[in-house]
């Protein structure tokens, strides 16, 4: 399946049509951005690392009954996926306090949570992805309530499966962001699941193995992504 016309390009990936109108190719780039695109850089081979990591994770999730857009990984930077109408809601799942939650609640990063938190954000670059709730989703017609329930159920299932998957590999899944979309009437998990949109900490040392190394100038960014790839392939 070759990529034909570019129909969309975001910060991390470009989307191309294929010979099949139901299928797209996600092309993973090396460009890295943070803080709503204000910080820019290149993480060497990031596109390849993230495509391989995400493909491995989508295969694992599919094997455990999670419905995703993943079809195949035809090359190092390409993922063949089912074409989605993306629902403009980012679903964030948190197992441990970090990042914006630590700031908002005034707690140290690494603070344990009594239970898993789901947060919803409106996917809008110009607005900087503001946090929303179910009322906003209804009032602005961002999704049907049935779709939202399916997204939340799927996000919690992904959390259970991936927390176990990572911990077996010596990594703590701290938090992550998911995107969903509709394909032929079905809600499917889309986009990517990589150190770009997940916080992953070494279980022993609590060293960060994710995009926070880039966001916070901690160095050894490529090395961290490579280590995640090595571990997810175990």
Report the nearest approach of ligand UDP to the CB of residue 204 (Å). 20
- 181 sits near ligand UDP (criterion: CB under 6 A): no
- Contact with ligand ADP (CB under 6 A): which of 78, 147, 191, 227? 191
- Binding residues for ligand ADP, rule CB under 6 A, total 18
Q: Give me the torsion for CA of 203, 209, 210, 216, rounded to 10°.
A: 110
Q: What token pair was written down for 130?
A: 């503001």
- 87 sits near ligand ADP (criterion: CB under 6 A): no
- 176 sits near ligand UDP (criterion: CB under 6 A): yes
3-state secondary structure 73-140: EEECCEEEEECCEEEEEEEEEEEECCHHHHHHHCCCCCCEEEEEEEEEEECCCCCCCCEECHHHHHHC
- 36 sits near ligand ADP (criterion: CB under 6 A): no
Q: How many angstroms separate the CA atoms of 15 and 35, rounded?
A: 22
132 binds, among ligand UDP, ligand ADP, none (CB under 5 to 8 A by kind): none
Using DSSP, state whether 46 is helix, strand or coil.
Answer: helix
Q: Is the CB of 18 or the CB of 90 nearer to ligand UDP?
A: 90
101 binds, among ligand UDP, ligand ADP, none (CB under 5 to 8 A by kind): ligand UDP
Q: Which of 150, 232, 158 is nearest to 195 (CA)?
A: 232
Report the nearest approach of ligand ADP to the CB of residue 225 (Å). 16
- 181 sits near ligand ADP (criterion: CB under 6 A): yes
Q: What token pair was written down for 90?
A: 């980012």
- 12 sits near ligand ADP (criterion: CB under 6 A): yes
């Amino acid at each position: 399946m070759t990529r034909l016309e570019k129909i969309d390009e975001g910060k991390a990936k470009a989307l191309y049509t294929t010979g099949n109108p139901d299928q797209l190719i996600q092309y993973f780039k090396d460009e890295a951005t943070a803080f709503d695109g204000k910080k820019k850089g290149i993480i060497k081979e990031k596109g390849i690392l993230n495509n391989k990591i995400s493909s491995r994770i989508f295969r694992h999730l599919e094997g455990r009954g999670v419905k995703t857009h993943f079809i195949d990984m035809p090359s190092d930077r390409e993922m063949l996926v089912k074409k989605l109408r993306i629902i403009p809601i980012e679903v964030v799942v948190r197992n441990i306090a970090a990042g914006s939650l630590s700031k908002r609640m005034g707690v140290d990063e690494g603070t344990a949570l009594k239970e898993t938190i789901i947060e919803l954000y409106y996917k809008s670059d110009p607005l900087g992805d503001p946090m929303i709730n179910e009322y906003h989703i209804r009032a602005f017609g961002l999704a049907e309530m049935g779709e939202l329930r399916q997204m939340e159920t799927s996000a919690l299932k992904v959390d259970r499966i991936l927390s176990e998957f990572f911990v077996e590999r010596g990594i703590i899944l701290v938090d992550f962001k998911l995107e969903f979309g509709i394909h032929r009437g079905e809600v499917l998990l889309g986009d990517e699941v990589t150190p770009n949109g997940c916080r992953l900490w070494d279980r022993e040392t609590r060293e960060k193995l994710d995009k926070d190394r880039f966001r916070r100038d901690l160095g050894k960014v490529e090395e961290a992504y490579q280590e995640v790839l090595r571990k997810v392939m175990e």
